[in-house]
Structure 1
Amino acid sequence: MTGEMEHDEPILLWSSRVAVATPAPSRIVIEGSESDGRFVPHAVRIPDDGPAQTMKVPLPVGENLLDRLHARPFGSEERVEAERSQDGLVIRCGEGTAPAGVVLETGSFHFPRAAHLRLVVAGLGSGEQFGLSLVERGGDAPSPPQVLLDAKGGSLKLPPSRPTDVPPSRQFVISCPSGQASLRLKSVALEPGLPSRQISNTGTWLWRADAWLQRPAKVEQWAVASQLDRTFLQLKIDKGEVAHSTALAEFVTRLDRRGISAHAVEGDPAMATADGLGHALRRVAAIRRYQIASPPRARLAGLQFDIESYLLSDFALDPTAIWAQWAETIQALSSAWGEPVSVVVPFWMLDSEAGAAAMAAVRPVISNLTVMAYRTEIGQVTALSEPWLAWGTLNGVPVSVALENGPLGAEVHRTFLRAETGSLLLSMAGRRATVSLFSHPAVARQDALAYAFHHETRVNPARISFMNNRDKLAVARAKLARLLVAWPSFDGLMIHALDETHRGFGGPRILLPEARANEPQASDSDLRRRPAAD
């Protein structure tokens, strides 16, 4: 369907139930895919009609920032010129005695919180030496400058900002010398300030128990070759006990001899409901009995919960209540386990007060966390991870950063707007509604609002997943391991569907729902908006 067609009797093509926070939303988004040139709906999403929040995002680490910084000359003698060129920024200074130079303003970006960083400037200078300083926004550049640049640039160690909720407001200053000089800046980048610290930890999830049950030696070899130091196993529970407990003990022992820890992983959105929690507690009790009965080397190293409660149909009605239920669930499961547990979280969770409150509530009962920063651009991964790495540093919680490597289909999002006639009808029943997609326009009725097709957006899966591109993933692993050590809380990488050629080893549990849960549906310049925002 690429437009509105006119027929007497529209044919129902698809319908779905959805929670609606407002009685008459202005927009409805149908998410689906394309098959043989035909749009195939999968899910419906109703964006918030409220004003979009303008949020500053952190500067990426390890990237040239020149294009993100606004150059503003200053000085009472007006002896400074700053000109953009194809290969950077050219600064020319005339002779003078009053302070002068160029302020590199961060604009809509903020400095990464709680990170140990250094500012690395590369360029080519002539004449006397320029100075480089970091100042609070609106502050004066120090004299003398904090560091002098040589003919090829230099670096400045930055004091780590406190990991608070308020991003630091800082800017760079390039100071002119008193004599005539010029500087051609080629790059300005934030690099880790702790080069001696190395974290190469990498883990993955093994969602299919049959793989390690039937081929334990092969899975062991694969884990070693993949340079893993941890694995997370989904276990089979049969009649209230861990199934194949002997085989599990042997496999855990195999990995332990290789220096690879084995953890159990549990996860279902329904665990955040009353019925689901009861089922989860019974599974935890079974795993706990396995732990007690096993010799030390056969015991699991921990228990992780990947409870994506935001996929529940009621989430849109009351996110605050759902996040509170999630927190209560984690607390109850940790209590049943008898020690802190690990949790998996979406990158956007801390953007809401309810999500932040839920994390504060579970802080005493979690041992570590994994944030799903599912992007393939290194700068985006560091930006999405920054709030969590800062939170982990503040709260003393180790943080792993997860990447996606599994297959994802190209998603198509079709947006419909309120109209007198349209091929989409919304029928309300309290705070729930039925969305019906028709073959061509229908007229709005007393019991149904009409929505007309407005535009289509295609989500490129290569932005989210490495799609088993081994070379690209290897480069990303190496870069992120080098960059993310800037945060003391960084505890390594997790890779979902690490090796798609070994289906059944690390293959993905689910495809489209997980992609939607971690896709902010926003432009790259607004990475931290929640999925509910269009």
Structure 2
Amino acid sequence: MRTLLVTLPLLAMTIPAHAAWLHQCPAATDGAPPRYVVDDREHAPGCTSVALVAGADVDAVYPLAHGEMPEDVIVLNGNVTDGRFAVSEHELPSTARGPARPQPMPLHENLLRSMDVRTFGAEERVQAHLENGHLRVTCRAGQRAAGAILTGPWFMTRANTALAAGYEARGGAFTWQVADAARQQRGDALDMGVLAAGAKSARLTPPAALDRAGWRQFVLLCPASEASIDVTALAQEPAAAPKAAPRATWVWRPGDWIDGGPALLDWAAGQGIRELFVTVPLTGGAVRDPGHLAAFVRAAGARGIVIYSVDGDPHMVLPGEVPAAVRRVRAYAAYNAAQPADARLRGAQFDVEPYLLPETVLAPSRRDAAYIGMARALKAAAGEGLRLEFVVPFWWGRNPALLDALAPTADALAVMDYRTDRAQIVFFAIPFLDWASAHGRQVRVALEAGAIEPEVQRRYVKATSGPGDLQAVDVDGRQVLVLLRKPVASTDARMYRLAGTRTIDGSATTFHKDKPALLRQLPGLEQEFGLWDGFGGIAIHELR
């Protein structure tokens, strides 16, 4: 998985051949990034100068963000522009081995195949054996609690699921329990159901008091009598029919609905699209042509299609730009207040991506607070009469504090889950679906069908011996990558050699070259995501 890290804009650079010094010089204008000059001077007036490896023929200079430190591997994406490799994004894989991240407990799979078992009980009256997805537990008679504990590498999601167990019990009834982290610590567990002798299957429902994200173990509790049980299957299965939710897409060009409304609605109905996000022109703080918009919304409603406004600009997050965004929300709210129910917008969506701003415009450390401040201002302007939805990237799923702070202001989120592999799509969607269920909100899962320009990916590894193609230098505490046109050997510089180059065609991100594959995947994804109460449907970017 690549992690998108927004970097500085194209830097001002002067790079002659066979240079030996890198100079970081003040920006020409306030707020601009520093200038980088590479030449053979040991010092440049007013600049910080750092020696490069002798014989360096510099191709490009790429500063990392403050605080970033490359380890053994550097991955750079970009393309050759004006004869030089222009880096667009980077990844710094860590070699540090931390604890494995828990995965969501899968659906429809025999969980026993990936579980571990151990016994407990002061009377030591239990034997347990787990192999090839088959669990056998044998209990001698006793009065004290005893049984088997089953653990696995997962957390439980907030999907509407139950455990389906296939088994055969002899001599008495076994109790199935579950424990989260807090209950595990105090030696407690919650009952899920009973595996009775004479039955062949059981449906075990997670109790409402369980902290699913903190799931730690299942407990199979022996009866007081002598008994044994064979559990041959244990799988998470839907506890109810999946929730149906509409498909949606974006219409960024106003003319598509203003001039071609009937054709647009015909197309949308034919594609099974039931929600459209359209750009609504404003004039003087109000909808430009409310009558035309009302007629379009009514025509869409007659076809079973609802309309949202959509706006998108990273600068909206800046304090000086928030008032303009607030005025847009007030314009939509005023339009709705003046219209009958069948002509109103369903809501307003904002696709604001602050990470696209260079750090000289908005420091990374301030992004979250600025975004939440903007969202609160927009919510205050929307009031109770206008639904507010925010488009967010999938990697915000690893920032629960930010998502929780959004909960009071966002009626819904649309997560840009731009992947084509089904397992990745599901994995990245789950944190948002769980968030929606926890906060009583909705989440729309967005997929990409637009064209993405191919990029070249270069992978560099630390050169422990021999020449290198990239030098990492420290300039005033900031790491700067210096890409070389030809390998150079050095015994004291931090050098990386080019280990491989490949072209990334976007097929892992967009369905543009295979839209039929997208349409084939949608029903299965909708079935699975529909197990969450907060699922708001799938949106497809650039479907048309």
| Structure 2 length-normalised TM | 0.70
Verify the 8 A CA contact 2:249 2:276 in the aligned structure 1.
Answer: yes
- Following TM superposition, by how much is the alpha carbon of 1:259 offset from its aligned partner in structure 2, in angstroms? 2.7
- Which residue, out of 196, 207, 215, partners 1:168? 215
- Following TM superposition, by how much is the alpha carbon of 1:141 offset from its aligned partner in structure 2, in angstroms? 8.8
- Following TM superposition, by how much is the alpha carbon of 1:93 offset from its aligned partner in structure 2, in angstroms? 5.8
How far apart in 2 are the matches of 1:167 and 1:313? 37
SS of residue matched to 1:331: helix
How far apart in 1 are the matches of 2:450 and 2:216? 38
SS of residue matched to 2:214: coil
- Which residue, out of 258, 264, 271, partners 1:219? 264
How far apart in 2 are the matches of 1:45 and 1:151? 57
**One-letter amino acid matched to 2:205:** K
Verify the 8 A CA contact 1:191 1:483 in the aligned structure 2.
Answer: no
SS of residue matched to 2:88: strand
Matched, 1:159 2:196: no
**One-letter amino acid matched to 1:400:** R
Matched, 1:346 2:393: yes
Deviations 1:306-356 (A, max 9, x none): 21212333299954411111111222233344456211223332534xx61
Verify the 8 A CA contact 1:163 1:394 in the aligned structure 2.
Answer: no
**One-letter amino acid matched to 1:256:** G
Deviations 1:463-488 (A, max 9, x none): 54444755654454333433334433
In structure 2, the residue matched to 1:496 is 540
Q: How does 1:127-142 map to 2 (within 5 A)?
A: 131=174, 133-136=176-179, 137=184
Matched, 1:66 2:114: no
In structure 2, the residue matched to 1:104 is 150
- Following TM superposition, by how much is the alpha carbon of 1:171 offset from its aligned partner in structure 2, in angstroms? 2.3
How far apart in 2 are the matches of 1:161 and 1:414? 49
In structure 2, the residue matched to 1:532 is none
- Following TM superposition, by how much is the alpha carbon of 1:224 offset from its aligned partner in structure 2, in angstroms? 1.9
How far apart in 1 are the matches of 2:418 and 2:172? 43
Deviations 1:249-297 (A, max 9, x none): 3322211222322111112222222454355345445545655665553
**One-letter amino acid matched to 1:260:** I
How far apart in 1 are the matches of 2:510 and 2:172? 45
In structure 2, the residue matched to 1:515 is none
Provide closer, same or farther for how the CA distance between residues 170 and 401 of structure 1 changes in structure 2, counting only shifts above 3 A: farther
Verify the 8 A CA contact 2:73 2:92 in the aligned structure 1.
Answer: yes
Verify the 8 A CA contact 1:110 1:170 in the aligned structure 2.
Answer: no
Verify the 8 A CA contact 1:19 1:317 in the aligned structure 2.
Answer: no
Deviations 1:194-232 (A, max 9, x none): 33x633232222223333234322221222233333221
Provide closer, same or farther for how the CA distance between residues 13 and 241 of structure 1 changes in structure 2, counting only shifts above 3 A: farther
Gaps of 5+ in 2: 1-17, 19-52
- Which residue, out of 78, 89, 103, partners 1:44? 89
Matched, 1:371 2:419: no
- Which residue, out of 446, 454, 471, partners 1:402? 446
SS of residue matched to 1:118: strand
**One-letter amino acid matched to 1:206:** V
Verify the 8 A CA contact 2:59 2:84 in the aligned structure 1.
Answer: no
Identity percentage of aligned residues: 24
SS of residue matched to 1:19: coil
How far apart in 2 are the matches of 1:162 and 1:83? 28
Provide closer, same or farther for how the CA distance between residues 457 and 162 of structure 1 changes in structure 2, counting only shifts above 3 A: farther
Verify the 8 A CA contact 2:59 2:85 in the aligned structure 1.
Answer: no
Gaps of 5+ in 1: 1-5, 503-534
Verify the 8 A CA contact 1:163 1:391 in the aligned structure 2.
Answer: no
Question: Looking at both structures, which has the greater relative contact order when contacts are Cα pairs under 8 Å and sequence separation is at least 6?
Answer: 1
- Which residue, out of 254, 262, 267, partners 1:209? 254
How far apart in 1 are the matches of 2:172 and 2:517? 40
**One-letter amino acid matched to 2:429:** S
Provide closer, same or farther for how the CA distance between residues 59 and 359 of structure 1 changes in structure 2, counting only shifts above 3 A: closer
How far apart in 2 are the matches of 1:336 and 1:486? 33
- Following TM superposition, by how much is the alpha carbon of 1:12 offset from its aligned partner in structure 2, in angstroms? 4.1
How far apart in 1 are the matches of 2:91 and 2:227? 61
Q: How does 1:362-441 map to 2 (within 5 A)?
A: 362-376=406-420, 378=422, 380-408=424-452, 413-417=457-461, 422-426=468-472, 435-441=481-487
Matched, 1:232 2:280: no
Provide closer, same or farther for how the CA distance between residues 486 and 454 of structure 1 changes in structure 2, counting only shifts above 3 A: same
**One-letter amino acid matched to 1:212:** W
Matched, 1:189 2:235: yes
Provide closer, same or farther for how the CA distance between residues 62 and 467 of structure 1 changes in structure 2, counting only shifts above 3 A: farther
